[in-house]
């Protein structure tokens, strides 16, 4: 389990708040796919970059050998999702995959390592390539590795 304690501030986006609540309440049995698809998600808990408050975000499940990749695509929007700034400031996170919650440390990837993991991300969920084509920014990706 992680050491993420403090005030939890639910997302201002209703669908995000509702999905996180249903996912956690059911230990990942419900609300465990991207809306309108059968594509699995995880929930990442992290600390806000400025507020220091606890935040929770449903993200696509991209896992390999016990490590997870989180992709700051924001659907190809011109700006990063807020959680990218949070992970850069506070890389300690808790990840819930189904009923399993584990502490992880996030590391932003670059260079060849980023290229290899980006390829894996696109193989896992092809929509990421579409999102990258929609934006001029390089979509940030973070590798989440078990803490300790």
**Helix %, strand %, coil % for the chain, to 5?**
30, 30, 40
Taking only the tens place, the pLDDT of each residue in 103-134 is: 999 999 999 999 999 999 999 999 999 999 99
Report the CATH fold assignment for 14-146: Pnp Oxidase; Chain A (2.30.110)
Taking only the tens place, the pLDDT of each residue in 35-82 is: 889 999 999 999 999 999 999 999 999 999 999 999 999 999 999 999
Place of tokens 């390999």: 64
Place of tokens 């959680």: 83
When pLDDT is cut at 50, 70 and 90, the band that residue 2 belongs to is low
Q: How many Cβ atoms are within 10 Å of 147's Cβ, its own excluded?
A: 15
The Cα–Cα gap between 63 and 115 comes to 16
Chain Cα centroid distance, residue 14: 17
Residue 60 phi, psi dihedral angles, 5° rounding: -60, 145
This prediction's pTM: 0.94
Q: Give the sign of the dihedral formed by CA 41, CA 23, CA 105, CA 13.
A: positive
Identify the pLDDT of residue 1.
46
The Cα–Cα gap between 139 and 75 comes to 10
């Amino acid at each position: 389990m992680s050491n993420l304690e403090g005030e939890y501030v639910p997302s201002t986006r209703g669908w995000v708040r509702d999905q996180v609540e249903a996912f956690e309440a059911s230990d990942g049995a419900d609300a465990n796919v991207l809306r309108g698809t059968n594509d699995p998600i995880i929930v990442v808990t992290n600390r806000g970059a400025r507020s220091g408050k606890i935040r929770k975000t449903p993200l696509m499940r991209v896992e390999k050998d016990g490590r997870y990749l989180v992709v700051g695509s924001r659907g190809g929007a011109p700006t990063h999702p807020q959680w990218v700034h949070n992970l850069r400031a506070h890389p300690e996170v808790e990840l819930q995959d189904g009923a399993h919650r584990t502490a992880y440390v996030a590391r932003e990837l670059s260079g060849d390592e980023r290229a290899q993991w980006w390829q894996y991300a696109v193989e896992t969920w092809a929509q990421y390539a579409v999102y990258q084509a929609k934006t001029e920014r390089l979509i940030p990706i973070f590798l989440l590795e078990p803490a300790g």
